[in-house]
A and B are shown apart, each in its own frame.
Chain A
Amino acid sequence: MIGLADIEKRFGDTVVLKGVSVVIPEGGVTALVGPSGGGKSTLLRCINLLELPTSGTVRIGDDTLTFRPGGKVATADIQRLRRQTGMVFQNFQLFPHRTAIENVMEGLRVVLRWPEAKARERAFSLLEKVGMAAKADAWPATLSGGQQQRVAIARALAPSPKVLLCDEPTSALDPELAQEVVDVLGTLAREGTTMVMATHDLRLASKIAREVVFLDGGVVVETGPSDQVFGAPERERTRRFIATLRQEAAEAGKPI
């Protein structure tokens, strides 16, 4: 189980998260949705501690880390928690000086100290899984955005994380390229990969998310199974937001 309890995050005087508590079930996909600036990316980054909460508790499996204002948390503890997660970024962030397969091997070689052959074997099978085996030796700069993001997914999965975190995984891609990333994430979801994704791609969220957390203004407005939140939202704020997204999708010629 992954749990966030009473997470508060301040940047100076700005409070971005105001006591957010979320429980993320294992084996399913949870989508964090909401308007820009609502705190979904920050909340996601608090799970792997790229952003340190000002206060609150982060729990992944049996590991728990509690933050207090002004308190110090040991780097080793942050690493221990972070190493149970993998992350996919909006702008892919592949290592440009390493080939596709080297990107996937990097964590296995450097962090887990796997021997070269074993790491290459696992990296290759992950590239096969995301449909990128043919491009194993390509430089990232020669790949399309969708291809780069698929390699990035393989890289994030390489150390077998307990949870895959996706920060707007399709929003830097045009619809066609986004589709190939949605397909890969959909396959992972069906296989029971635990995922948390911050997104405002309603197609992505409605297709693969089981649970939805709607965040606005740094608080959880509504949470529940995805068909319920998308189909019959309880809160007025959620209704408005989803109506806007549907309208945007319809205007773009991609009704949901």
Chain B
Amino acid sequence: MPHWLQLMLDSLGPLLWAAAAFTAPLTLLSFAFGLALGLAVALIRLFGPKPLVALVRFYVWIFRGTPLLVQLFLIFYGLPSAGILLDAFTAALIGFTLNIGAYSSEIVRAAIGSVAKGQWEAAYSIGMTWSQAMRRTILPQAGRVAVPPLSNTFISLVKDTSLAAAITVPEMFQAAQRIVAVTYEPLILYVEAAILYLAMSSVLSALQTRLEGRLGRYGGFLEARA
């Protein structure tokens, strides 16, 4: 067996363990929390009172306008100076959640806005309240519109979790760095890490396709295929 393959196989265990213990939970939790936050922010932007709208616009402005790495450093290394001490995983979780919340709020806002006004009226005309119309009529249709751009965000997030290595979270990329530190084989280890990220993104892409198929089963969308 060639040396490079042997090294890849030997490192596969530690890398996968780091992915399972840190990369995956960090991705899934921050996406779930971030999406909930994004929905709340989108609803405030669309329907909330003015002062609150100004507040959430400020939040989106800050978190879309500054680098993710800087945000993570501020939360993990900066906040202790203000008396707020967080462990690395929590700091990363907060940073990613706030970042995803800002980006997804814009996607959700556009998707809700894309549902025809007549659908609200149809829902009201059969007696629904605002929240029933939102839940039963608007969000399911908005969801279909939001899936492709939200999948983009999700896939970016998987890869961006590698930034958490910089604030000492022992996720997959950091596991690779550690092995490089003792083997001096950066090319082999970083290629392996890249392949594993690619594999995770590919799984998500496949899930996206299935979800789009399920949400699109009622037809009526332009079906453009090259």
Contacts and interface: CB of A to CB of B under 8 A. Distances in A.
Interface of A: 48, 50, 75, 79, 82-83, 85-87, 89, 91, 93-98, 106-107, 110-112, 139-142, 155-156, 158-159
Interface in B120-149: 121-130, 132, 136-137, 140-141, 144
A168 to B, nearest CB: 13
Given A111-B132, A141-B219, A159-B126, 20 more contacts: A50-B125, A79-B127, A82-B125, A83-B127, A86-B125, A89-B118, A89-B122, A95-B123, A95-B137, A96-B220, A97-B144, A97-B218, A98-B218, A110-B128, A111-B126, A111-B127, A139-B217, A139-B220, A140-B218, A141-B218
A140 B220 contact: yes
B119 A95 contact: yes
A243 to B, nearest CB: 33
B121 A89 contact: yes
Interface of B: 116, 118-119, 121-130, 132, 136-137, 140-141, 144, 217-220
A87 B122 CA distance: 8
A110 B132 contact: yes
A93 B119 CA distance: 6
Interface of B is mostly: helix
A141 B219 CA distance: 6
A79 B129 contact: yes
B123 to A, nearest CB: 8
A230 B123 CA distance: 35
Contacts of B137: 95
B126 A50 contact: no
Nearest to B116: A93
A91 B118 contact: yes
A107 B121 contact: no
Contacts, number: 70
> Top 5 closest A-B pairs, CB basis?
A141-B220, A107-B126, A93-B122, A87-B125, A141-B219
Contacts of A87: 121-122, 125
Contacts of A141: 218-220
Nearest to A90: B118
A96 B114 CA distance: 14
B141 A97 contact: yes
A219 B137 CA distance: 36
Nearest to A78: B124
A139 B218 contact: yes
Contacts of A86: 125-126
Contacts of A94: 122
B131 to A, nearest CB: 11
16 contacts: A50-B121, A79-B127, A82-B124, A83-B127, A86-B125, A87-B121, A89-B118, A95-B119, A96-B220, A97-B140, A97-B141, A98-B218, A111-B126, A139-B217, A140-B218, A155-B126
A134 to B, nearest CB: 19
A93 B128 CA distance: 15
A230 B97 CA distance: 66
Contacts of B132: 110-111
B128 A50 contact: no
Given A93-B121, A95-B122, A111 B219 contact: no
Nearest to B136: A110
Nearest to B135: A110
A82 B141 contact: no
A191 B116 CA distance: 34
